[in-house]
C-alpha cells in the first residue's frame, strides 16, 4: 500500500492541510501529513476504523461520519480534499449531489484517486465521469495499481 499511497501523495504535492473523505484508518492522510505541520482531517464512516485510526495516528483529527451525512461539517477549508470518486457512486444521487455542492467549500483543491479494483471498468477517467464531479480531470499519475489526478474546479 505504501507504493500506491506514494502516487497519491505525489499528486497532492504541497499542502498544509487536507481532508480525506473516506479515510479508513488514516494511513494515506498520515503519509500526506508526514514531516509537515498543519491540520489533517479524516472522515470515516466505519466506527472501528475511525477509532483505530485516532489511536494510531493522534495528530490526525478523525470524524466518524458518512460523507453524505447532512450533519457533517468541516471545521475549516483545507488546502486539498482527497476523494475516491467511487464513494459518490455508492450513494443515492441526491446525496452525491449534496456532497458535490459542499465539496468546493471544504477544500481549495481536489485530488481524486482509485485503486485497481475500482479502476477495472475504464480507469480513473471513467470513474471521474460517472461521479459527475464539477471539474476537469488533470493529468493522471499512475503506478502500483493506483491512479490519481488533481481536478480543476469548474
> What is the distance between the alpha carbons of residues 104 and 21, in angstroms, rounded to a whole number?
13
Residues 19-38 as b or e (16 or more Cβ within 10 Å = b): bbbbbbbbbbbbebbeeeee
Give the residue from 91, 81, 88 showing the smallest Cα distance to 112. Answer: 81
* Global pTM value: 0.94
Would you state the pLDDT for residue 62? 96
Q: Is the pLDDT of residue 3 over 90?
A: no
Q: Is the pLDDT of residue 154 over 70?
A: no
Per-residue pLDDT tens for 26-72?
999 999 999 888 999 999 999 999 999 999 999 999 999 999 999 99
Cβ burial, residue 105 (10 Å; 0-12/13-18/19+): exposed
Per-residue pLDDT tens for 67-113?
999 999 888 899 999 999 999 999 999 999 999 999 989 999 999 99
Pairing of strands 17-21, 78-83: parallel
Q: Domains (ranges, CATH) in the chain? A: 2-153 (3.40.50.150)
In terms of DSSP H, where are the helices of the chain? 2-12, 27-33, 47-56, 86-89, 93-106, 123-131
Amino acid at each position: 500500500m505504501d507504493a500506491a499511497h506514494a502516487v497519491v501523495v505525489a499528486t497532492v504535492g504541497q499542502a498544509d492541510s487536507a481532508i480525506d473523505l473516506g479515510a479508513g484508518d488514516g494511513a494515506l492522510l498520515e503519509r500526506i501529513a508526514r514531516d509537515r505541520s498543519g491540520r489533517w482531517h479524516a472522515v470515516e464512516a466505519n466506527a472501528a476504523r475511525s477509532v483505530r485510526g485516532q489511536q494510531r495516528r493522534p495528530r490526525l483529527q478523525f470524524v466518524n461520519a458518512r460523507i453524505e451525512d447532512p450533519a457533517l461539517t468541516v471545521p475549516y477549508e483545507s488546502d486539498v480534499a482527497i476523494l475516491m470518486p467511487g464513494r459518490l457512486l455508492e450513494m443515492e444521487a441526491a446525496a452525491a449531489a449534496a456532497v458535490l455542492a459542499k465539496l468546493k467549500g471544504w477544500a481549495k483543491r481536489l485530488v481524486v484517486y482509485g485503486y485497481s479494483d475500482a479502476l477495472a471498468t475504464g480507469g480513473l477517467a471513467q470513474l471521474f465521469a460517472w461521479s459527475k464531479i464539477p471539474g476537469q480531470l488533470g493529468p493522471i499519475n499512475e503506478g502500483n495499481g493506483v491512479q490519481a489526478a488533481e481536478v480543476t474546479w469548474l
